[in-house]
């Protein structure tokens, strides 16, 4: 019997976490649960929980740990996650990682591992400062390896009519800060998974998205996880 993928995903900004998580979920037929997306969508849903989330986001406050845990645990209890999931943006603390292990154990499951995409600081800066996005449709491009003119806007119109800009977040100075924040938050959680041999680092320096994905597939193969037919 092949194993079901139950994974958490880590990686510094610019390492291609979103892209790889997306490909992984397509190939292995499991949902990609991004805490950022859930909070964004949830805050617009108009449900009781949604309004609770919105009350924090709209006031520029951090959504508390307890609420994030509740949302994520509700999500992974859904039938769609029965055969596994890929979590992205959660856990954000060792406490949350422990809580996740406990919840899963209570259902007879185990989190197989944490995938960490590794990327050198020089390449992070290089990649992020070349990043551009369309203000209108939200498509993200990279001047170096994924230029806008190669695939165009999500709305299917010529790229010349799009508003392609650089986000304030993607300038060299802010990249340093984001990297520091990433190391401080993710570091202890990554150590937590490393301690019992559940950390799977993937080196992404100088690698194309395809090469990174091949490494990922090999790693999942070692865990006994196989792609859906």
Return the active site residues: 17, 92, 131, 167, 178
Binding mask 159-198 for Zn ion (x = CB under 5 A): ---x------------------------------------
Residues in region 51-70 near Zn ion by CB under 5 A:
none
Select the span of 13-21, 67-75, 151-159, 167-175 touching Zn ion (CB under 5 A).
Answer: 151-159
Residue from 129, 136, 185, 217 binding Zn ion (CB under 5 A): 136
Interior angle at CA 214, CA 208 and CA 215, nearest 5: 95
- Please tell me whether residue 153 binds Zn ion under the rule CB under 5 A: yes
Give, in order, the Cα–Cα distances in Å from 6 to each of 46, 109, 135, 217, 225: 30, 9, 34, 14, 10
Give, to the nearest 10 degrees, the angle between helix 172-195 and helix 121-129.
Answer: 130
Q: How far is the CB of 16 from Zn ion (least distance, A)?
A: 20
SS3 state of residue 116: strand
Residue 90 or 141 having the CB closest to Zn ion: 141
Q: How far is the CB of 140 from Zn ion (least distance, A)?
A: 10
Q: How far is the CB of 166 from Zn ion (least distance, A)?
A: 15
Select the span of 47-55, 108-116, 155-163, 205-213 touching Zn ion (CB under 5 A).
Answer: 155-163
Length of the chain: 229
Q: How far is the CB of 167 from Zn ion (least distance, A)?
A: 14
Other beta carbons within 10 angstroms of residue 199's beta carbon come to 17
Rounded Cα distance between 185 and 91, Å, is 10
Helix (DSSP H) and strand (DSSP E) numbers for the chain: 9, 8
Site size for Zn ion (CB under 5 A): 5
Closest CA to 201 of 118, 144, 107: 118
Rounded Cα distance between 211 and 209, Å, is 6
Q: Give residues in contact with Zn ion (CB under 5 A).
A: 134, 136-137, 153, 162
């Amino acid at each position: 019997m092949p194993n079901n993928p139950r994974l958490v995903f880590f990686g510094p900004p610019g390492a291609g976490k979103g892209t790889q998580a997306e490909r992984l979920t397509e190939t292995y037929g499991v949902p990609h649960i991004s805490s950022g997306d859930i909070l964004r969508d949830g805050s617009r849903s108009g449900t009781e929980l949604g309004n609770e989330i919105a009350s924090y986001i709209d006031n520029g406050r951090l959504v508390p740990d307890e609420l994030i845990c509740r949302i994520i645990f509700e999500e992974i209890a859904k039938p769609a996650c029965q055969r596994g999931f890929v979590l992205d943006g959660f856990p954000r603390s060792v406490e949350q990682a422990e809580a996740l292990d406990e919840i899963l154990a209570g259902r007879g499951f185990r989190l197989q591992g944490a995938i960490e995409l590794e990327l050198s600081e020089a390449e992070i800066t290089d990649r992020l400062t070349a990043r551009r996005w369309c203000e209108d449709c939200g498509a993200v491009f990279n001047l170096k390896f994924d230029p806008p003119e190669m695939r165009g806007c999500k709305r299917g119109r010529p790229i010349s009519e799009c508003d392609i800009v650089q986000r304030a977040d993607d300038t060299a100075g802010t990249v340093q800060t984001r990297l520091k924040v990433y190391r401080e938050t993710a570091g202890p959680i990554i150590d937590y998974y490393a301690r019992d041999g559940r950390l799977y680092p993937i080196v992404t320096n100088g690698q194309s998205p395809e090469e990174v994905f091949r490494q990922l597939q090999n790693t999942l193969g070692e865990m006994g996880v196989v792609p859906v037919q």
